[in-house]
Structure 1
Amino acid sequence: MTTDTAAADTETPDSSPTAPEAWELGRRDLLRIGAAAGAAIAGLGAIEIVRDPKPSAQVGKGATAATAIPSMCQMCTTACGIIGHVAHGRLLRITGNPEDPNNQGSTCGKGVAGTSVLYDPFRMLYPLKRVGERGSGKWKRITWEQAYTEIADRLREIRERGRPEEFAFQQGRNRSTDIVARFLNAYGTPSQFNHRALCSANRRAAIATTIGESDWDLGDFENSQYVLNFGSNWAEAHQGHIPVAIRMMRARRRGAKLVTFETRMSNTAALSDEWFCVKPGTDGLIALAMANVICREGLWDKTWFDTWSNYSAGKFAEHVAQYTPERAERESGVPAEDITRIAREFAAAAPRCTTICNRGSQSHRNGYYNDRSITALNALVGNMGKKGGWCWHPQSAWDEDFLPEPGPVPDKPIRKSIIAEAKDWPLANAFEGKKMKVAEVIYLWIQQRRQKVSALMTYNADTAWSFPEGKLVRSVLADEELIPFHVCIDVMYSETSHLADIILPWTTYLERWDIDARPPQGLIDYVGLRQPVVPPRGQSKDIREIFPELGRRIGGGMEEYFPWKTTEEYLEEYFKPIPGGFAHMKAHGVWMDPTKKPFYEPHLRRLTPEELDGSHEDPETGIIYKGTDEKTGKPAAIGIRIHGIARRGFLTPSRKAEIHSSFIVGKGKELGRNVEPLPVYEPIPSHQHDFPDDHLIMTSYKINVHNGHRTMQSKWLQEISHTNPALLNSATAKKLGIGSGDWIEVVSFRPIDPAVPGGDGSQVGTLRTRVRLTEGVHPIVIAIAHNAGRSVGGAYATSGQDTADNPGYGKTADADLDRLWWKGAISVPQNDLMPIYPDPVVGGQAYHDTVVRIRKV
């Protein structure tokens, strides 16, 4: 990478005071919590170690005295409450915020390592403009004035010619949802993409189908006595990572049993009472076989099921009769006697039992049905909404009714976007307010010219590295006919910013403001504040400053939606309903309504006389209606009469837990597709063949010290884990004459499946890597970690491969480069092997179904 800085100011890369102890303190903390061991205990050990008595307090003495500032982490999606310990304007270390109700003072290795990202020598600190061919790595530093002018001029032209949908916006882990939506809606573009289909779409759709009011389950793990885990690695890389882990381990200490079904010996599997190494994609069949046992032996809560499910227990028993434990054994590998025994144990623990599932079950071609089957197990034993059971909360973040966004708020766009609507998948955007966005097909569809894109903005989304078929993504980003203008907003230089026209240096989460919260593991919603613990380095800016400025410059009415002068002024208004307002949030970092109770069994709430006044009841279904639904124009359901009592019910069309869903059948018919109304098991077509010995199923996984694209630039975390050898079962390796440490070539193929894009069995990619032999992976599986294989982003991110100076400010000065002992370590970009492979019902990416051929080289 080369940089022309002649037109830029002469500000040094980092003018903050030096504090040699800062690196040592943070690194020591990281090692103390055991992250180097790569164990799940890394997060759990932090419960005992990284607590701080009170936020906003002075700690330490003399020259090392530090101010404790509460904020929120963003090293992963869990958004734990944290405390930044700051002295002389420099962050010394990070600990957990004990006032945060989710993580309760704990943090993990990634959270502790945030300091190393803040002070990373390869951070982008100044706006850059491309001066060579796109992807050449040639840049010149420009001023923010120049950047704003060029971007605003480009976006204004698109908007003024009446084609706002030609401005596409791709976001990754967006924790600034209010300002992003405000800017894009004010502009009028519907071409807004998240990464949900690459994360949790199938699971969310299964939950939304069943209970309606949420697409996120929150097992009451702390009070549970029995947990069935279908492919959730909560000890290392779950969306609720630390909040789930601390509650799960408390339950374990009190005797709760944990049974895990997973294709690999994860750290979660290692912490379990029992681990079953299953064939990929058979989780749903195992759950249905357990349902078979529970129904056949009368272990169900038949009264609850017949009362609160929209399908009778007898009919469901008839449905699951086909899914015997013996059939499940043949396909999954789990012994029938174990399936039977565990089904009995699970039912015996009801209602204090629950399931947990995640990518291991839902990131498959049949992922939606897998998770519907697992969810139905909970209804069968009557644990839904009960203490210690399978629970949920309608607020996946904070209560927006109590904390409404300050006005004026723009309306949603009226224009349409082909690539955003994802109409090829019946349930992708079927659930109101729960848009799934089948993002893995975006670049394929742009390549196919399904929709013209005149400008693309990528924000905290390293699509060129993290998306399936990475080579295709990079080829589209490099093509100036397909994408004439690309602006990348991010903290680090990456494969995606490498293919941009303008790079805007984004602040780290430790330098910016945000309103944030995650699904409440304690079943009471809360709101948190992310606030700067130190000033922004260099000329980095947050989007809360960037977007209002762009909106004002684009004009055309956009400026009306950004009336505040500063972010603090906006937040003052936002937090007015909270006792103590913005000042309370800055001092404590979090607020939770003390009058609220845990969200148990909301469907049982009796409707009040005021609610029933003016209502009418359907005599056949018992559903109670009042008024008209503003969106559909149909009568609005407010509850259901059960045994003579008017209750709230579930927020589904039937006001019951929908084991049978006519709604999804209808959505399928709209596209001429068959969507099964009941939970079923659909074998994965490309897995139903007798593979040659050298053909395996490739799966993906994450470890506890890496997450997405944000952690590999951390020298602390890279020192702990900087390689991703292929995990291969010892017996499989013996058949192929492969030994531990040998080099292999891995060739991947698209599925032979007409239901998915490009399902013709053709080759996707090839790479060479080394093998690590283990008994802890299924014999037909080759497992490769997701978090490695960078080609740009600095020496730490690439194990010394990228030795170019920082494009943001030239010469990189960091004495630690001399200590980069893992230079040349082998790491591979697994996503280059992944085909675009959406679940045909919802569109969630099938991360664990790719068929590959391996050979020793």
Structure 2
Amino acid sequence: MSLTRRDFIKRTSLAAGAITLLSGTKVNGLQKNYPKGWKGNLRVKEIPSICEMCFWRCGILGNVDKHGKLLKIDGNPVHPLTHGRLCARGNAGHKLSYDPDRLKYPLMRVGERGEGKFKRVTWDEALDFFAEKLLQIKDKYGPESVGFFPHGIQARFFEHLMKGFGTPNIVEPAFAQCRGPRDVGYKLTFGNNVGSPEPLDFENTDLMVFIGTHIGENVFTGQNTQFSNALERGAKLIVVDPRFSIAAEKADYWLPIKPGTDTALLLAWMNVLIFENLYDKEYISKNAIGFNQLKNHVKKCTPEWASKITELPADMIRETAREMGKLLPKVGLHPGRHFTWYGNDSQRGRAMAILTALLGAYGRPGGIYLSSNIPAPKYPSGKNPKPAPRADGAGSLYPFASRGLGVTNGLVDATYSEDPYPIKGWVVYSQNVLQSIPDPWKTKEAINKLDLMVVVDVMPMEQIFYADLILPEATYLERYDDLYTVKNAKIPFAAIRQPIIDPLFESKPGWWIAKEMAKRLGLEDHFSWDTIEDYLDYRLSGLGVNLQQIQAKGIVEYDKGTPYYDFSKPIKFKTKSGKIELYSKELEKYGFDAMPNYEATDEVPKGYFRLTYGRSPVHSFARSQNNEILYAYQPENELWLNNKIADELGLMDKEYINLENQDGIASNRIRLRVTPGIRPDTVFMVHGFDHKSPLLKKAYGKGASDTYLMSRYKVDPISGGTGMRVNFVRIIKNGEPIMVSGAVSIVSKFKSQKDNVQKPKKKIIMQQTETSEEDEGC
């Protein structure tokens, strides 16, 4: 806990909060004019592209020697968001291409599912088999009986193929397992999704508010740099998190909230802003509808009411609300990213959007700026058939779920139950369905009902053992992908991914696989371009450049002017009313609450802890644990456990234990991280460890898997988002559970004061505020 602000700013601005690898965070000598692209006497050529070690896709420069070997990866200094900075994962990306465990050849199953017996086949044999099986399913059940699980821009060509094939059942974890409920909440309020990256104007903000947002640990170098720069120039910070995260370390106010009670806090903040006349009255009167209903709705949601629910001091709730009111509209309330927590998350997203509106911070400097469109035309294509109704419930059972991204668990459920119709084929592309989706046992049972499962991937994740066909994709360093357009930037831009080295072994880029499959499925008109270069040239034409012109820098910007509303003119929001909708008639029409209410989550059973999880600055989800460099820095995850609990149970820091969830499911062993920086009723681990594939020789069996402890989840009825923080675990030592005998007070709640620069920061303990029994609830 001794990390200083100065240390933190240095670290986040270079490597996003925790670790820097190699020497390439800033590219040396890029101002020199090397002849023919070669870097001085080193004979190293720098080739710009975009990263895919995580979904942020930062700008990179691959350093390639004269023999075509990739030596290292640096950041691209002309990238508009990252400016040459690169995190540990991006620096280590070359080890993905050169991983000896990667998939090298097409493989076809010859044993039972899960047995791991395959034979090597040619690409023609593999694709002929793939096409034949798809057409058999289509003839017997209809094209809708094939489900597609894509991830990333590399899957767009396959998504185009599957739409041409006729299936509506395309599901991405980015919605139901991540930010879907958040985007639904903001769209119902403002008429727009939040999008990615989150368009927070940290350059101009005076106050940042994070609710379960792990900046500094989830590692987007551009946003981390903006965050640390804001701190350095004096912006204030409120962090709501049951864990003392890196961001909480830098906060003016850390609120270690009881998990699952965030909506109560948000309603209490609204109460203070409204009834102390601190909200942006002019902004609301001109741009919003439903204020009187909202005022009546939150009247009883006092800080004293919320204090009993959240276990935060009422004075702290009131003081932080006043801080927002004092500094509005330049308040950057981060909408959050991984938002699927408790099954009622869309209404929490609504509450955050409404609070943003009360602060007058949407579409204004210092708050949330506006996204833009980029004129990158789609290549002319054949017409897709009219699809059947979706099987996953998007747009029907879950009326506000994205029909484009779908509900991942909904498709697993439909496959398992064969309701509303049989799903007999899965195509899984660059996602690990046994690590990204809760209740992996049900996923396995669903897979066993399939006639066909095809996996397209770079690494041999555990799901390949259940596949009928495995297709090795070239890594992101070895291929072109579709044009990457970034709308959520103050100056929108497009970036290309281009090959830095040739594909290794027999791997192929996704666009090639999709185009070859189109020939076999009679969908050639969907891929009418001759080469991938022709395709990209056409898409770039709307920006006034061609592929050759963009290849030198990897980036083209598209300046559309100021990213804020002009409030000197009437503003028409993209809601049905044309106004910010504090009261949602759309929700009311479908039988949901028109304004957010607090709904209690299940209490932690005696002797158990609530299982929470998050990201690491070293790893990306469950995809990077086998990377040689990243493995060296973090070979396994740890379990955060409160120090008072550890003392009571006789447990030591760095000791190995096991976990068992409420359904008797046991974890692999995990090392303890004993700390006062987490609530006694909560434990935390980094997601993505304990891989079950023995073909991942480094990652296999290292650490514990949060996913395999998630035998339960709750589905948000509005969006279909999969709430995964509803599982509880107890500690197992030497094969026996060890129990907490008595109550332990929650971690101290404090306000940290920013003193003069010459003085160290102080932490001032705040005592729990007493609340009256007569205080009415909300």
Could you tell me how far apart the structure 2 residues matched to 1:56 and 1:461 are?
41
* Structure-to-structure mapping, 1:282-681, within 5 angstroms: 282-312=261-291, 314-359=292-337, 362-395=340-373, 399=374, 402-411=375-384, 413-419=386-392, 421=394, 423-429=396-402, 435-450=404-419, 451-477=421-447, 479=448, 482-517=449-484, 519-520=486-487, 522-555=489-522, 558-594=523-559, 596-601=560-565, 604=567, 647-666=570-589, 668-669=590-591, 675-681=592-598
Equivalent AA in structure 2 for residue 67 of structure 1 = K
Q: Deviations over 1:798-831 (max 9, x none)?
A: 25x6xxxxxxxxxxxxxxxxxxxxxxxx511220
Could you tell me how far apart the structure 1 residues matched to 2:705 and 2:184 are?
29
1:223 to 195, 204, 213: 204
Q: Deviations over 1:380-436 (max 9, x none)?
A: 1212211111233155xxx2xx2111102533642223236373323224xxxx645
* Kept after mapping to 2: 8 A contact 1:71/1:81: yes
TM-score normalised over the length of structure 2: 0.87
1:137 to 112, 116, 130: 116
Q: Deviations over 1:454-488 (max 9, x none)?
A: 221110011123321122223433x2xx1111111
Could you tell me how far apart the structure 1 residues matched to 2:568 and 2:145 are?
47
Equivalent AA in structure 1 for residue 594 of structure 2 = P
* Kept after mapping to 1: 8 A contact 2:25/2:75: no
Could you tell me how far apart the structure 2 residues matched to 1:532 and 1:165 are?
34
Structure 2 partner of 1:747: 660
2:627 to 689, 711, 714: 714
Distance change (3 Å), C-alpha of 1:275 and 1:207:
same
* Kept after mapping to 1: 8 A contact 2:393/2:410: no
**Which sits farther off after the overlay, 727-736 or 418-427?**
418-427
CA shift, 1:55, in A, is 11
Structure 1 partner of 2:726: 849
TM-score normalised over the length of structure 1: 0.79
Could you tell me how far apart the structure 1 residues matched to 2:463 and 2:671 are?
27
* Kept after mapping to 2: 8 A contact 1:43/1:242: no
* Kept after mapping to 1: 8 A contact 2:27/2:77: no
Structure 2 partner of 1:792: 693
Q: Deviations over 1:153-196 (max 9, x none)?
A: 1112333456001111111x321364233211111111211112
Could you tell me how far apart the structure 2 residues matched to 1:221 and 1:201 are?
23
Could you tell me how far apart the structure 2 residues matched to 1:113 and 1:107 are?
10
User: 1:577 is paired with a residue of what secondary structure?
Assistant: helix
Q: Deviations over 1:227-283 (max 9, x none)?
A: 111111122216xx2221111112111111111111212222223333222111222
Distance change (3 Å), C-alpha of 1:682 and 1:143:
same
* Structure-to-structure mapping, 1:672-821, within 5 angstroms: 675-684=592-601, 686-687=602-603, 691-692=605-606, 694-749=607-662, 768-792=669-693, 794=695, 796-798=697-699
CA shift, 1:317, in A, is 2.4
Structure 2 partner of 1:838: 715
Could you tell me how far apart the structure 2 residues matched to 1:153 and 1:257 are?
60
* Kept after mapping to 2: 8 A contact 1:493/1:792: yes
Equivalent AA in structure 1 for residue 613 of structure 2 = S
Equivalent AA in structure 2 for residue 655 of structure 1 = G
Structure 2 partner of 1:270: 249
Please identify runs of 4+ aligned residues in structure 1 that moved more than 4 A: 43-48, 54-57, 359-362, 518-521, 762-768
CA shift, 1:548, in A, is 1.0
* Kept after mapping to 2: 8 A contact 1:229/1:356: yes
Could you tell me how far apart the structure 2 residues matched to 1:486 and 1:180 are?
15
CA shift, 1:207, in A, is 1.1
Percent of aligned pairs with the same residue? 28
Equivalent AA in structure 1 for residue 314 of structure 2 = A
Equivalent AA in structure 2 for residue 828 of structure 1 = A
Could you tell me how far apart the structure 2 residues matched to 1:47 and 1:658 are?
47
Unaligned 5+ residue runs, structure 1? 1-32, 607-646, 670-674, 750-761, 802-825
Q: Deviations over 1:772-796 (max 9, x none)?
A: 2111111110112112111225455
* Kept after mapping to 1: 8 A contact 2:200/2:334: yes
User: 1:321 is paired with a residue of what secondary structure?
Assistant: coil
Distance change (3 Å), C-alpha of 1:764 and 1:838:
farther
CA shift, 1:765, in A, is 5.6
Is 1:159 the counterpart of 2:138? The answer is: yes
1:78 to 29, 40, 56: 56
Distance change (3 Å), C-alpha of 1:518 and 1:368:
farther
CA shift, 1:527, in A, is 1.0
* Kept after mapping to 2: 8 A contact 1:190/1:420: no
* Kept after mapping to 2: 8 A contact 1:838/1:845: yes
Is 1:236 the counterpart of 2:217? The answer is: yes
User: 1:357 is paired with a residue of what secondary structure?
Assistant: coil
Q: Deviations over 1:13-36 (max 9, x none)?
A: xxxxxxxxxxxxxxxxxxxx979x
Equivalent AA in structure 2 for residue 448 of structure 1 = S
User: 2:210 is paired with a residue of what secondary structure?
Assistant: strand
Could you tell me how far apart the structure 1 residues matched to 2:133 and 2:326 are?
64
CA-based RMSD? 2.6
* Kept after mapping to 2: 8 A contact 1:52/1:95: no
Structure 2 partner of 1:125: 104
Q: Deviations over 1:274-328 (max 9, x none)?
A: 322211122222122111111111111112112111112x442222122111222
Structure 1 partner of 2:260: 281
Q: Deviations over 1:437-459 (max 9, x none)?
A: 22124323322222322221110
* Kept after mapping to 2: 8 A contact 1:729/1:776: yes
Could you tell me how far apart the structure 2 residues matched to 1:34 and 1:787 are?
24
Structure 2 partner of 1:92: 71
